């Protein structure tokens, strides 16, 4: 089935009680049973909910996986994956990644005895060299937030298989429309559904997709035991968002491409980070594993002062200054003080994330209006 058809129908079947074409919001905490343990497969809503179930089916289909699981946020989904591990186990992960993931690894899980080794994953050899007998999980993000670095998913999954470790890919930036890591050999895909999947800046949610039934059982056990489940209204919002994912992504990609090229030739702009430029260091890999290049980009001004960055950040009118990304409206963000403030400054700078880097989440407005807004703010 082609993507457009799949996204419209994924997970939703007419409701058996009324024929409602859209899955109802089953706002209930419990289900009446005929006799102890004689029921319709629903006992208690932390464990099962029909709205969530429909969404989890959709999640599986979006990533060409057998199973999907929904969590109350992207970081709750990440938290569940790390809970597969035991004290003494090691995770090899990227130096350059979402600040909240780094905070969860370094400030929460390290104290429970899980070890994290941070390498430059854009060269898979660095992962291979870091692997030890304790390595149980490889965690990568591609493209990275906010520097748009690309890691070769197929190459890393070959390393994971050869060394009997799991590979989880944070696919938030690409969305399932652009990239499907399970098809490239990953064991688990993670999404912050808050971003492109929800797509309308009105819900916080996370997703995991996988193929292995045993892995699904372990993650489902963690989901119900730890309880970071989304409510039915939030599941409904993401189910609804998914139906237009392909339409939104087409426009995000078109607008992203136009603005990336426009910014690059602007006299006040020093550097644009966008993985669709043919001279991007990993362009060939991006082209191989992604269907298009998305609507996220970052840039630096020629004027490296904080005043210049701050002036721009507060001068746009259509681009709202806000954290988050992937919604229909365009956002402008200052990673050093906002989304990535939880990474220590020295480390952030060493990873290439400067104090004055500006990140854009290009929305689906008319691109001429977006360019006019940026142009006014830059001048």
Ligand X SMILES: *Cc1c(COP(=O)(O)O)cnc(C)c1O
Instruction: Report which DSSP code applies to 32.
Output: -
Which token pair is 349? 């700078």
- Cβ of residue 246: shortest distance to ligand X, in angstroms? 20
Could you count the other beta carbons within 10 Å of the beta carbon of residue 72?
Answer: 18
Decide: 289 and 154 in contact? Cβ < 8 Å: yes
Where does this chain bind ligand X (CB under 6 A)?
73-75, 98, 100-101, 141, 145, 170, 172-173, 192, 194-195, 204, 206
Q: Active-site residue numbers?
A: 46, 98, 170, 195
- Cβ of residue 141: shortest distance to ligand X, in angstroms? 6
- Cβ of residue 191: shortest distance to ligand X, in angstroms? 8
Alpha helix segments (H runs only) across the chain: 3-9, 50-62, 74-82, 99-103, 124-130, 153-162, 213-226, 232-242, 245-264, 283-289, 306-313, 345-350, 367-378
- Of 147 and 301, which CB lies nearer to ligand X in the complex structure? 147
- Of 290 and 301, which CB lies nearer to ligand X in the complex structure? 290
* Contact residues for 96 (Cβ-Cβ < 8 A; gap 6+): 120, 141, 144, 147, 149, 351, 352, 353
- Of 96 and 170, which CB lies nearer to ligand X in the complex structure? 170
Helix axes of 245-264 and 367-378: crossing angle, nearest 10 degrees: 40
- Of 61 and 333, which CB lies nearer to ligand X in the complex structure? 333
- Of 115 and 339, which CB lies nearer to ligand X in the complex structure? 339
- Cβ of residue 287: shortest distance to ligand X, in angstroms? 21
Which residue's CB atom is positioned nearest to ligand X? 74
Distance CA 376, CA 284 (A): 34
C-alpha distance from residue 131 to each of 64, 89, 93, 156, 195 (Å) = 29, 11, 11, 12, 32
- Cβ of residue 236: shortest distance to ligand X, in angstroms? 17
Decide: 100 and 335 in contact? Cβ < 8 Å: no
């Amino acid at each position: 089935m082609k993507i457009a058809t799949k996204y419209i129908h994924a997970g939703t079947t007419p409701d058996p009680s009324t024929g409602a074409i859209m899955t109802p919001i089953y706002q209930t905490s419990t289900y009446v049973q005929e006799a102890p343990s004689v029921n319709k497969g629903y006992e208690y809503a932390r464990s099962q909910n029909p709205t969530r179930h429909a969404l989890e089916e959709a999640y599986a289909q979006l990533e060409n996986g057998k199973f999907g699981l929904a969590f109350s946020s992207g970081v709750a989904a990440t938290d569940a994956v790390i809970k597969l591990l035991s004290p003494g186990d090691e995770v090899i992960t990227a130096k350059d990644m979402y600040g909240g993931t780094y905070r969860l690894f370094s400030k929460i899980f390290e104290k429970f005895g899980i070890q994290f080794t941070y390498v430059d994953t854009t060269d898979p050899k660095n992962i291979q060299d870091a692997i030890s007998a304790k390595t149980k999980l490889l965690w990568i993000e591609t493209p990275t937030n906010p520097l748009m670095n690309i890691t070769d998913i197929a190459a890393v999954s070959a390393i994971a298989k050869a060394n009997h470790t799991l590979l989880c890919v944070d696919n938030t930036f690409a969305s399932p429309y652009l990239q499907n890591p399970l098809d490239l050999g990953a064991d688990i895909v993670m999404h912050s559904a808050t971003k492109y999947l929800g797509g309308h800046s009105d819900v916080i949610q996370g997703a995991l997709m996988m193929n292995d039934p045993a892995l699904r059982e372990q993650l489902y056990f963690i989901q119900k035991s730890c309880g970071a489940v989304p409510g039915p209204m939030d599941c409904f919002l993401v189910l609804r968002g998914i139906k237009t994912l392909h339409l939104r992504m087409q426009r995000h990609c078109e607008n992203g491409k136009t603005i990336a090229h426009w910014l690059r030739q602007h006299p006040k702009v020093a550097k644009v980070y966008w993985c669709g430029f043919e001279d991007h260091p990993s362009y060939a890999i991006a082209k191989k594993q992604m269907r298009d290049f998305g609507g996220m980009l970052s840039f630096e001004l020629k004027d490296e002062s904080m005043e210049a960055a701050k002036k721009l950040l507060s001068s746009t009118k259509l681009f709202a200054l806000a954290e988050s990304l992937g919604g229909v409206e365009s956002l402008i963000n200052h990673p050093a003080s906002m989304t990535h403030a939880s990474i220590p400054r020295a480390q952030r700078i060493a990873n290439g994330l400067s104090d004055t880097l500006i990140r854009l989440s290009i929305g689906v407005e008319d691109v001429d209006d977006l360019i006019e807004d940026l142009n006014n703010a830059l001048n």
